[in-house]
Amino acid sequence: MATENPFNTILKTLEKPDGSGEFGKYYCLPALNDPRIDKLPYSIKILLESALRNCDEFQVKSKDVEKIIDWENTSPKQVEIPFKPARVLLQDFTGVPAVVDLACMRDAMNKLGGDSNKINPLVPVDLVIDHSVQVDVARSENAVQANMELEFQRNKERFAFLKWGSNAFDNMLVVPPGSGIVHQVNLEYLGRVIFNTNGMLYPDSVVGTDSHTTMIDGLGVAGWGVGGIEAEAAMLGQPMSMVLPGVVGFKLLGKLRDGVTATDLVLTVTQMLRKHGVVGKFVEFYGEGMSELSLADRATIANMSPEYGATMGFFPVDHVTLQYLQLTGRSVETIAMIESYLRANKMFVDYNEPQIEKVYSSYLELKLEGVEPCISGPKRPHDRVPLKEMKVDWHACLDNKVGFKGFAIPKESQNKVAKFSFHGTPAELRHGDVVIAAITSCTNTSNPSVMLGAALVAKKACELGLEVKPWIKTSLAPGSGVVTKYLQKSGLQKYLNQLGFHIVGYGCTTCIGNSGDIDESVASAISENDMVAAAVLSGNRNFEGRVHPLTRANYLASPPLVVAYALAGTVDIDFETEPLGTGKDGKKIFIRDIWPSSEEVANVVQSSVLPDMFKATYQAITKGNPTWNQLSVPSSTLYAWDPTSTYIHEPPYFKDMTMSPPGPHGVKDAYCLLNFGDSITTDHISPAGSIHTDSPAAKYLLEHGVDRRDFNSYGSRRGNDEIMARGTFANIRLVNKLLKGEVGPKTIHIPTGEKLSVYDVAMRYKTAGQHAIILAGAEYGSGSSRDWAAKGPMLLGVKAVIAKSFERIHRSNLVGMGVIPLCFKPGEDAETLGLTGHERYTIDLPSNVSEIRPGQDVTVATDGGKSFSCTVRFDTEVELAYFNHGGILQYVIRNLIGSKQ
Report the distance separating Cα 146 and Cα 338, nearest Å: 41
Torsion of CA 555, 558, 559, 563, to 10 degrees: -60
Q: Which residues pair with 175 in a beta bridge?
A: 128
How much is the average pLDDT of 774-782?
94
What is the arithmetic mean of pLDDT over 865-881?
90
Written as one string, the DSSP assignment of 849-889 is GGG--TT-EEEEEETTS-EEEEEE---SHHHHHHHHHTSHH
744, 544 in Cβ contact below 8 A? Answer: no
Instruction: Give the pLDDT confidence of 286-338 residue by residue, as tens digits.
Output: 999 999 899 999 999 999 898 898 999 999 999 999 999 999 999 999 999 99
Is residue 795 within 8 Å of residue 788, measured between CB atoms? no
Query: Do 473 and 557 share a structural domain?
Result: yes
- The packing angle between helices 448-464 and 559-568, to 10°, is 30
Percent of the residues in the chain that have a pLDDT greater than 70, as a whole number: 97
User: What is the Cα–Cα distance from 369 to 265, expressed in whole angstroms?
Assistant: 10
* CATH (domain of 498): 3.30.499.10
Instruction: Identify the residue with better confidence: 809 or 747.
Output: 747
Q: Among residues 799, 803, 798, which one has the least CA distance to residue 780?
A: 803
- Read off the CATH number of the domain in which 714 is found: 3.20.19.10
Burial class (CB in 10 A: 0-12, 13-18, 19+), 426: exposed
Q: Which of 83, 112, 129 is the last residue of a domain?
A: 83
3-state secondary structure 59-117: CCCHHHHHHHHCHHHHHHHCCEEEECCCEEEEEHHHHHHHHHHHHHHHHHHHHCCCCHH
pLDDT of residue 253: 96
- 539 vs 592, residue with greater confidence: 592
Do 551 and 444 lie in one domain? The reply is yes
Using DSSP, state whether 545 is helix, strand or coil.
Answer: coil
Chosen domain end from 67, 83, 99: 83
Compute the distance between CA of residue 434 and CA of residue 473 in angstroms, rounded to an integer. Answer: 9
Q: For 118-159, write each residue's pLDDT tens digit.
A: 889 999 999 988 755 666 655 566 687 777 777 777 788 888
pLDDT, averaged across the chain = 91
The stretch 615-639 carries a mean pLDDT of 85
Is 298 part of a structural domain of the chain? no
Dist. CA 332–CA 351, nearest whole Å: 22
Q: Is residue 643 part of a domain?
A: no
With respect to residue 226, please indicate whether it lies within any of the assigned structural domains. Answer: no
Query: How do residues 330-363 score in pLDDT, each as one tens digit?
Result: 999 999 999 999 999 999 999 888 888 899 999 9
Residue 602 resides in a domain: yes
**394-404 residue pLDDT tens:** 999 999 999 99
Which of 726, 731, 717, 725 minimizes the C-alpha distance to 697?
726
* End position of a domain, from candidates 36, 56, 83: 83
Do 413 and 518 share a domain, yes or no? yes
Res 678 pLDDT > 90: yes
For residue 241, what pLDDT band results from cuts at 50, 70 and 90?
confident
Do 530 and 676 lie in one domain? The reply is no
* Residue 787 binned pLDDT confidence (cut-offs 50, 70, 90): confident
pLDDT score at 901: 39
Across the range 622-641, mean pLDDT stands at 86
DSSP label at residue 564: H
Q: What is the mean pLDDT of residues 87-110?
A: 91
Question: Would you say residue 290 lies in a domain?
Answer: no
712, 841: one domain? yes
Over residues 191-216, the pLDDT tens digits come to 999 999 999 999 999 999 888 899 99
- Per the structure, how many domains does the chain have? 3
Distance in angstroms (rounded) separating the CA atoms of residues 159 and 91: 12
Between these two residues, 428 and 182, which has the higher pLDDT value?
A: 428
Which range has the worst mean pLDDT, 45-49, 334-338, 475-479, 578-582?
A: 475-479
**Local confidence band at 511 (pLDDT 50, 70, 90 cut-offs):** low
Instruction: Using alpha carbons, select from 292, 217, 273, 226 the residue that is nearest to residue 42.
Output: 217
How far is the C-alpha of 691 from the C-alpha of 668, rounded, in Å?
34
Same domain, 603 and 682: no
pLDDT at 209: 86
Residues 680, 568 share a domain: no
pLDDT at residue 508 greater than cutoff 80: no
Distance of CA 55 to the CA centre of its chain: 31
In a domain, 695, yes or no: yes
CA distances in angstroms from 548 to 437, 473, 513, 840, listed in the order given: 12, 11, 6, 37
Task: Tell me the C-alpha distance between 294 and 323, whole Å.
Answer: 10
Nearest one of 22, 20, 71, 10 to 45, comparing CA atoms: 71
Residues 683 and 795 in one domain: yes
Same domain, 784 and 703: yes
Reported confidence tier of residue 900, pLDDT bands at 50, 70, 90: very low
Cα–chain-centroid distance for residue 500? Answer: 28
Q: Residue 68: which domain range?
A: 8-83
- Coil/strand/helix, residue 434: strand
Reduced 3-state DSSP string for 131-174: CCCCCCCCCCCCHHHHHHHHHHHHHHHHHHHHHHHHHHCCCEEE
Residue 515 domain-assigned (yes or no): yes
622 occurs within a structural domain: no
Higher pLDDT, 665 or 464: 464
**Strand residues in 381-515 grouped as ranges (E):** 384-386, 418-422, 425-429, 434-439, 473-476
Distances (CA, A) of 265 to 304, 370, 476, 530, 561: 11, 10, 22, 35, 14
Residues across the chain = 901
Residue 895, burial from CB neighbour count under 10 angstroms (0-12, 13-18, 19+): middle
User: Distance (Å, rounded) from C-alpha 202 to C-alpha 533?
Assistant: 50
Determine which helix (DSSP H) or strand (DSSP E) holds 274, and give its type and residue range.
helix 262-276
CB-based burial of residue 832 (10 Å sphere; 0-12 exposed, 13-18 middle, 19+ buried)? exposed
Predicted local confidence at residue 848, as pLDDT: 86
Position 1 pLDDT exceeds 60? no
Which one-letter amino acid corresponds to residue 550? Answer: L
Q: Could you report the per-residue pLDDT of 250-260, keeping only the tens digit for each? A: 999 999 999 99
113: left (phi over 0), alpha (psi -120 to 50) or beta: left
| 791 and 710, same domain (yes or no) | yes
Phi, psi of 404, deg, nearest 5: -65, -25
CA distance 181 to 508: 6
In the chain, what is the straight-line distance between the N-terminal and C-terminal CA atoms, in Å?
A: 12
Are 767 and 729 spatial neighbours (Cβ–Cβ below 8 Å)? no
568 shares its domain with 700: no
Record the pTM.
0.82
Q: How confident is the model at residue 237 (pLDDT cuts 50, 70, 90)?
A: confident
Q: How far is CA 816 from CA 123, 213, 682, 702, 890, in A?
A: 20, 20, 16, 32, 10
If asked whether residues 599 and 677 sit together in one domain, one would say no
Distances (CA, A) of 298 to 447, 687, 867: 9, 30, 49
